[in-house]
A = this chain, B = another copy of it.
Amino acid sequence: MKETILRPGIDRRTVLSTLALFPALSAPALSASASAQTASSVTLPSWNEGSAKQAILDFVRDTTDRSSPKFVPPEERIATFDQDGTLWVEHPIYSQMVYCLDRVPVLAAQKPELKEVEPFKTVLAGNREAIAELSMRDFEKIALATLTGMTTEESEADGKKWLASAKDPRWKRSYTELIYQPMLEVMTYLRANGFKTYIVTGLGQDFVRLYSQRVYGIPPEQVIGSALAVKYDYGKDGAPILVNEPKLMLNDNAAGKPEGIHLMIGRRPNASFGNSTGDQQMLEYTGAGDGARLSMLVLHDDGIREYAYGPAQGLPDTKIGAITPTLYAEAKEKNWIIISMKNDWKKIFSFE
């Protein structure tokens, strides 16, 4: 039933016979084209009509219609989504990084020797411009230092506490409210059509797992991301514990994304969504399979409603991921779809 209700390719006869069951609805939708338009706007209401939206509808029709040569059995339907910049705001700094920066003073109180060591010294001085200049390697050091030495349960409790109070300085809202409504709709639409949706993030999977069910409707086991090694041990009371070790076990970025997908899912996704060079290999891997394929990139070209960045469009470059000219050329060559936030999205956030 779900497939029938939500599938875009509903024929005229089905529409008319369905409308006959709802007399109040049939008057304004007498022609098949009018009703098809209605069905389509019901499906992805925050999307403007256009090639990006149409690509999603076509992909779902091709993979779920049993008479299609590109039909995919329901149990094999997999869609993977990058998180930062694809599902929620990543500019000017990844939310998980803000969490790690906020933990530096806590850590320095426990280990005062860090106060004289970079990059911790810069962070503790609180100079926002200097912090913005820190390298990715500095951030990695901060992440490893601030996320380890706790049990997984302590880490979970601390992360949840932070998420409950931290606010994005521009919108003055929780970070978990800064989810792109159109992408939530894509996830919901794919799930309603039998796809298992996964998040595949270059950042830490344990952090995303704290809110993935609540925010995206995605359970923890469908979140793949960079992961610290954990060590099984026994606490003071003899009860089993898992302790975060200062060692990156899975670096789930760039080539690490298809590698992580193989480790955690064991097969190739049918559809992937990203927004930067960190997603390049995931989109390549997805696109290289047989049958219907959907590889999409979110372009941050809306400086008014969100942010505009990315050298592919002559927009400012940033330290965070974006579509580079090389990635843009590859996308063109391989028929990946660019989603323009400015043109393809009616609204960006649910609270607009």
Contacts and interface: CB of A to CB of B under 8 A. Distances in A.
Contacts of A205: 266
Given A213-B75, A240-B258, A263 B285 contact: no
A265 B250 CA distance: 15
Given A213-B75, A288-B239, A258 B232 contact: yes
B75 A240 contact: no
Contacts of A206: 266
Interface in A234-284: 239-240, 242, 249-250, 255-256, 258-259, 262-267, 281, 284
A250 B220 CA distance: 19
A124 B183 CA distance: 56
Contacts of A213: 75
Contact of A255 (B196, B232, B250): B232
Contact of A266 (B209, B229, B262, B266): B209
Contact of A242 (B220, B230, B239, B259): B259
A250 B250 CA distance: 10
Contacts of A223: 266
Interface in A168-186: none
B265 A220 contact: yes
A209 B264 CA distance: 11
Nearest to A235: B288
B242 A258 contact: yes
A21 to B, nearest CB: 25
Interface residues of A, number: 35
A152 interface: yes
Contacts of A285: 232, 240, 242
A154 interface: no
Given A213-B75, A232-B285, A281-B232, A242 B266 contact: no
A209 to B, nearest CB: 5
A259 B247 CA distance: 14
B263 A219 contact: no
A124 B256 CA distance: 37
Contacts of A281: 232, 240
Interface string A206-237: 10010001000001110100010111100000
Nearest to A224: B264
A263 B227 contact: yes
Contact of A264 (B221, B240, B242): B221
Contacts of A221: 196, 264-267
Q: Closest 10 interchain pairs by CB?
A: A220-B266, A232-B255, A221-B265, A209-B266, A240-B285, A240-B284, A239-B288, A232-B258, A240-B288, A230-B262
Interface of A: 75, 152, 196, 205-206, 209, 213, 219-221, 223, 227, 229-232, 239-240, 242, 249-250, 255-256, 258-259, 262-267, 281, 284-285, 288
27 contacts: A75-B213, A196-B221, A205-B266, A206-B266, A209-B266, A220-B265, A220-B267, A221-B265, A221-B266, A223-B266, A227-B263, A229-B259, A230-B262, A231-B255, A232-B255, A232-B256, A232-B259, A240-B281, A240-B284, A240-B285, A242-B258, A242-B259, A242-B262, A242-B285, A249-B263, A250-B263, A264-B264
